[in-house]
Amino acid sequence: MTPHTLTYKAVGGLLSRVPTVTSADGTRIAYERTGDGPPLVLVHGTAGHRVDWREVAPALAESFTLSLVERRGRGESGDAASYAIEHEYADVAAVVEHAAAEVDPDTPVSLLGHSYGAICALHAVRETDAVDRLVLYEPPLGDVPEPEGAAADIERLLREEGRDAATAAFLREAVGLSDLVIDSMRGDDLWRARLDAIPTVPREIRATQGERFDPAAFADVAVPTTLLLGGDSPSAMRRATESVADALPDADIVTLAGCAHMAMHADPEQFVDAVRDAPAAR
């Protein structure tokens, strides 16, 4: 069993457990634990943080014991001297196995990944047998990744103008948010978390540019998979979602009406319903 430590943190007036596990390369990965029920591990996307789930976590915690992963390089998680996306697959698998062990070693785990976190979750199911339900929200595969030079632009902004400017540029160019929406986000805990995470964005952009999705590698993945797709998301994101669905033996696409890439913020109720309704292995 992977070694772990355990601390406690106040969340909404309650004490929520915040363990850390040691991943395969020795990096310690934090995950916030809250709720009651079968385990559900949530993996945030690029420029994200476990705070990304704040609008949906309370409702999901009524049905699941949540493990909100804080991916490497931000918050209470550690990092390594060099980066490879494959390390993140192992990170997710390590949290999944601890999430199962903390509830009941024989209890299967549901796994939810958003964006870059969906890529990590998809590959993690090949590294652990504990997952019986997979929910992937728009993994940026195929022609979705940012163009050449996008990572260098973020690095330049970090050097010349700082984290706020770099974060705003990423949300504007990659996520498609308006300056008005970005300005409304500034100053709260999620904005501060994004500032913390922005130095990890260039390496993740480069990882998706180098990522080549191999459908054949998932032909034997029998985990029932629900792919969430924003009804208002761009066509490239739709194509990427469809390509993953086509590669998996047991996968369906659920469209989130009126949403794009951030339904957990734009329409939390619809998002929660889709996650709860996602089928598990029988």
21 and 138 co-located in one domain: yes
pLDDT for 102: 79
Based on the domain organization, do 52 and 136 belong to the same domain? yes
CATH of the domain at 38: 3.40.50.1820
Whose CA is closest to 68, among 105, 30, 97? 30
Assigned domain for 60 exists: yes
Mark whether 127 and 155 lie in a shared domain: no
Do 204 and 97 fall into the same domain?
no
Please give the chain's pLDDT, 282 residues, in tens: 344 443 434 333 333 467 899 999 999 999 999 999 999 999 999 999 999 999 999 999 999 999 999 999 999 999 999 999 999 999 999 999 998 887 777 789 999 999 999 999 999 999 999 999 999 999 998 777 677 789 999 999 999 999 999 999 999 988 888 899 899 999 888 999 999 999 999 999 999 887 678 899 999 999 999 999 999 999 989 999 999 999 999 999 999 999 999 999 999 999 999 999 999 987
pLDDT value at position 101?
81
Task: Identify whether 93 is part of a domain.
Answer: yes
> Does one domain contain both 186 and 154?
yes
181 and 228 inside one domain = no
Query: Is 67 in the same domain as 168?
Result: no
Looking at the structure, do residues 12 and 33 belong to the same domain, yes or no? yes
| Same domain assignment for residues 77 and 13 | yes
| 48 occurs within a structural domain | yes
- Strand ranges for 241-282 from DSSP E: 251-256
Q: Are both 136 and 182 inside the same structural domain?
A: no
Establish if 79 belongs to a structural domain. yes
Q: What is the number of domains present in the chain?
A: 2
Q: Where in the sequence is the domain holding 240, given as residue range(s)? A: 4-143+213-277
Nearest Cα residue to 46 out of 193, 147, 153, 179: 193
Last residue of a domain, one of 194, 210, 226: 210
45 and 87 assigned to the same domain: yes
Q: What is the pLDDT at residue 60?
A: 98
Q: Which of 210, 228, 261 corresponds to the end of one domain?
A: 210
pLDDT in the model for residue 13: 34
Q: CB burial class (10 A; 0-12, 13-18, 19+) of residue 234? A: middle
Q: Is residue 129 part of a domain?
A: yes
**Residue 17, pLDDT score:** 60
Q: Which of 99, 68, 72 is nearest to 87 (CA)?
A: 72
132/156 same-domain check: no
